[in-house]
């Protein structure tokens, strides 16, 4: 895909407050789905607004995405993580609309619990196991950008290192060996856990995920799932703005 | 009838919870315990008298939601 000619303002610059506009002059609409137990929905709504989009809360019982051009499945503990993280939410009525939206090429960003849902409904490959340490891990991690040629990743630079927080107990990505090979061959890994120098392996992998997978894209590149929380890092006041470029790209893709 | 659904991680999937339990057992002197695997047991009260039909329905539910085929396998037991 082509990169827009506007150039990268880079992490740390935040956004100007003037977002991308639709041809009609209105702001681009991004749905944030709220499940019982979501707890990052307000952060996601605020991040979309800060990136210049119109954030639209959509209840999980909704049959559609309120005409939005992009959708966020936010983090949290939908249905208390009962059965498996994301398993119950995967069967919420709104997920049929999310599937249709994705099948039509619409942008989907699943964050943390939202990533787990995307795995459960099969839009992304693999499944999450409990972290290797068996602990809930809530801290900053470093992430190496592996793809920058897709609309949702266009403001990132391949090989650059981001710093974003994680907060999960089931983030240990697993897939059968043949699936892992397919994922790697397809370039489906968007983000990998790394150290501050961008090196993979050892203690830099917080949860034991195979090949340090922290984020995946589908083959078409319109569905991105990631365990780290970009919506929590959109301003220096919140400890950094490495997440702003992802949210901005999402709004632009709406 | 009450139907038992057992869900466990596939053999080739590492079970960190089971490994932690094995280590605790070894520390308590149960050195003879080898691998430990942790699974889920669900008891479903299901309407219907035809065991074959009940089994088919419960197995469908397992495939649809109760187990994740990427990492888990299930077993359905009827009374």
Query: Residue A162's closest CA among A11, A9, A5, A46?
Result: A11
Q: What CATH number is attached to the domain comprising B33? A: 3.30.1280.10
Question: A133 contacts in B (CB within 8 Å)?
Answer: 16
Instruction: For residues A189-218, give the mean pLDDT.
Output: 97
Residue A125 has pLDDT above 50, yes or no: yes
Higher pLDDT, B40 or A26: B40
Chain A residues in contact with B17 by the CB 8 A cut-off are: 130, 134
pLDDT score recorded for residue A2: 39
Per the DSSP assignment, residues forming a β-bridge with A101 are none
**A21 counts as catalytic:** no
Test mutation, B12, B15, B16, B64, chain A, max A CBs within 10 A: B16
Span A151-161, average pLDDT: 97
Candidates 3.40.50.880, 2.60.40.2300, 3.30.70.260, 3.30.43.10; CATH matching A29-253 = 3.40.50.880
> So what's the pLDDT on residue A26?
86
What pLDDT score does A20 carry?
58
Whether the per-residue pLDDT at B8 is higher than 60: the answer is yes
| A206-220 pLDDT tens trace | 999 999 999 999 999
Which helix (DSSP H) or strand (DSSP E) does residue A79 occupy? none
In whole angstroms, what is the distance from residue A162 CA to residue A190 CA? Answer: 12
| Residue of A54, A60, A101, A112 marked catalytic | A112
3-state secondary structure A182-244: HHHHCCCEEEEEECCCCCCCHHHCCCCCHHHEEEEECCCCCEEEECCCHHHCCEHHHCECCCH
Structural domain total, chain B:
1
- The answer to whether A224 and A217 are in contact (CB under 8 A) is yes
Q: What is the mean pLDDT of residues A148-173?
A: 97
Instruction: Name which of B14, B70, B73 to mutate to probe chain A: the one with the most chain A Cβ atoms within 10 A of its Cβ.
Output: B70
Q: What is the pLDDT of residue A221?
A: 96
The pLDDT of residue B31 is 94
User: Which domain covers residue B47, as residue numbers?
Assistant: 2-77
Q: Give the gap in angstroms from C-alpha B26 to the nearest C-alpha of chain A.
A: 18
The tens digit of pLDDT for each residue in A19-55 reads: 555 555 689 999 999 999 999 999 999 999 999 999 9
Mean pLDDT of A100-109: 98
What percentage of chain A exceeds 70 in pLDDT? 90
List Cα–Cα distances, A62 to A2, A105, A116, in angstroms.
34, 20, 20
- Cβ <8 Å between A87 and B13: no
């Amino acid at each position: 895909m082509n990169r827009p000619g506007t150039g990268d303002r880079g992490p740390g610059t935040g956004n100007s407050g003037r977002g991308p506009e639709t041809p009609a002059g209105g702001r681009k609409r991004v749905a944030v789905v709220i499940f019982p137990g979501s707890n990052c929905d307000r952060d996601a709504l605020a991040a979309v607004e800060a990136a210049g989009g119109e954030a639209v809360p959509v209840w999980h019982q909704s049959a559609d995405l309120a005409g939005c051009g992009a959708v966020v499945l936010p983090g949290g503990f939908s249905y208390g993580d009962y059965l498996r993280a994301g398993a119950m939410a995967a069967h919420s009525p709104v997920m049929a609309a999310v599937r249709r939206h994705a099948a039509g090429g619409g942008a989907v960003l699943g964050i943390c619990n939202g990533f787990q849902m995307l795995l459960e409904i099969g839009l992304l490959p693999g499944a999450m196991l409990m972290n290797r340490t068996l602990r809930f891990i809530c801290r900053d991690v470093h992430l190496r950008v592996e793809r920058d040629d897709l609309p949702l990743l266009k403001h990132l630079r391949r090989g650059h290192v981001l710093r974003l927080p994680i907060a999960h107990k089931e983030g240990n990505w697993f897939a059968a060996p043949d699936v892992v090979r397919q994922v790697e061959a397809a370039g489906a890994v968007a983000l990998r856990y790394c150290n501050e120098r961008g090196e993979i392996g050892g203690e830099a992998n917080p949860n034991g995920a195979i090949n340090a997978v922290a984020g995946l894209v589908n083959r078409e590149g319109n569905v991105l799932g990631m365990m780290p929380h970009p919506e929590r890092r959109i301003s220096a006041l919140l400890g950094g703005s490495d997440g702003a470029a992802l949210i901005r790209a999402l709004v632009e893709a709406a | 009838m009450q139907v038992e659904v057992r869900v466990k991680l596939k053999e080739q999937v590492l079970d960190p919870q089971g490994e932690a339990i094995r280590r605790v057992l070894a520390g308590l002197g149960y050195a003879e315990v080898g691998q430990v695997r942790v699974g889920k047991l669900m008891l479903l009260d299901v309407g219907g008298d035809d065991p074959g039909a009940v089994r088919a329905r419960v197995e469908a539910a397992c495939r649809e939601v109760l187990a994740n085929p990427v990492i888990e396998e299930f077993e359905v037991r009827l009374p």
